[in-house]
Amino acid sequence: MKLKDLAEQLGASFTGSGDLEINGIKDLEHHTPVDPNSIYYVASKKYLAKHKKASDVKIALTIDSLASQFPHAIIIPEEGSKVKFIQVVSLFEKKPSYNAYVSEKASIHPTAKLGKDVTIMDFAVIQENVVIGDRAVIFPNVVLESNVEIGDETVLKSGVVVYYNCKLGKRNLIHSNTVIGADGFGFYDYSGVRYKVPQIGNVIIGDEVEMGAHCTVDRAALESTTIGNFTKFDDHVHVGHNCRVGNYVYIAGATVLAGSVTIEDGCFLAGQSAVAEHLTMKKGSILMGLSGLTEDSKEKTAYFGIPARPALEMHRIHSSLPILPELAKEHSKRKKQES
């Protein structure tokens, strides 16, 4: 792609040779020499100063104040520059291409209803009364149990399993080996007998949701476990039964929600965090990595630690830890003197 053509697609101006061929987009953080035929995203002075290799960049996707640093540059607005970066990455993305088709090797129940231009690949299993929306893509070895509904343009990668009666909205992307709708962890011990509590609810997922590989979302005991629109999961996220996860939520890898947790809109849960049962994370609150929330959060407040407390308070506590041994010695001396 020529530099001038890429600039035109972005609605941006450029400096240098418009006829220069760009073969792709690369990252300065990789331990490889700078490629003179690739474009690099450099949109802040801090990033430019951090990477010594930036001085070798020949073609940059950058802002006006930095454009003079590079022989060839596509100039994008500083505000929202990351959106332009995303557009460039999309233009160079090489997705496998295929025409919509239904494989003869798939097992599809006669009662299943398939929308227009649906793709169902080898060895997928579609059980009775499943509904699949237009242009949905079902990869190999996906299992959709009875009465599942899949919205338009949703993509289920290989090995995804959706249990009976669960519903997924439009334009979702569910990565490999994620399981939606398994039984919640419901048991009751009485008089030496362990009873399993029937999990007769389901999971309902909104639109534009993405789940990474190996996620699990348990069905509700009686009603629905719900995931809101535009919510994004990393890999290895677990959502317990009866949870309510709102819109525009981010949940990073290895995070666990116990049963009946409510995560309101716009929350962020960092990696390896956990929320205890029946708690609520209020709108816009943050649970930092390796933290365990044991009480309801406040809106737009960051929490850290085990048990998690407001981050500013916890950082003050942590900054006091180095002096605790000396304070303990002084306390011991006083005790001896008093005795």
Closest CA to 28 of 60, 53, 3: 53
How many helices (H) and strands (E) in the chain?
5, 37
Q: Which token pair is 153?
A: 């343009």
φ and ψ at 64, to 5 degrees? -55, -40
Helix (H) or strand (E) holding 90: helix 81-92
Task: Count CB atoms within 10 A of the CB of residue 188.
Answer: 9
Cα angle at 215 between 209 and 218, to 5 degrees? 90
Catalytic one of 241, 278, 318, 331: 241
φ and ψ at 280, to 5 degrees? -125, 125
* 119 in Cβ contact with 137 (< 8 Å): yes
| Helix, coil or strand: residue 40 | strand
Specify the DSSP class assigned to residue 102: B
Whether residue 109 lies in the annotated active site: no
Angstrom distance (rounded) from CA 272 to CA 253: 6
List all residues 6 or more positions away from 191 whose beta carbon is below 8 Å from its beta carbon: none
Helix (H) or strand (E) holding 132: strand 131-132
φ and ψ at 314, to 5 degrees? -65, -35
Active site residues: 241
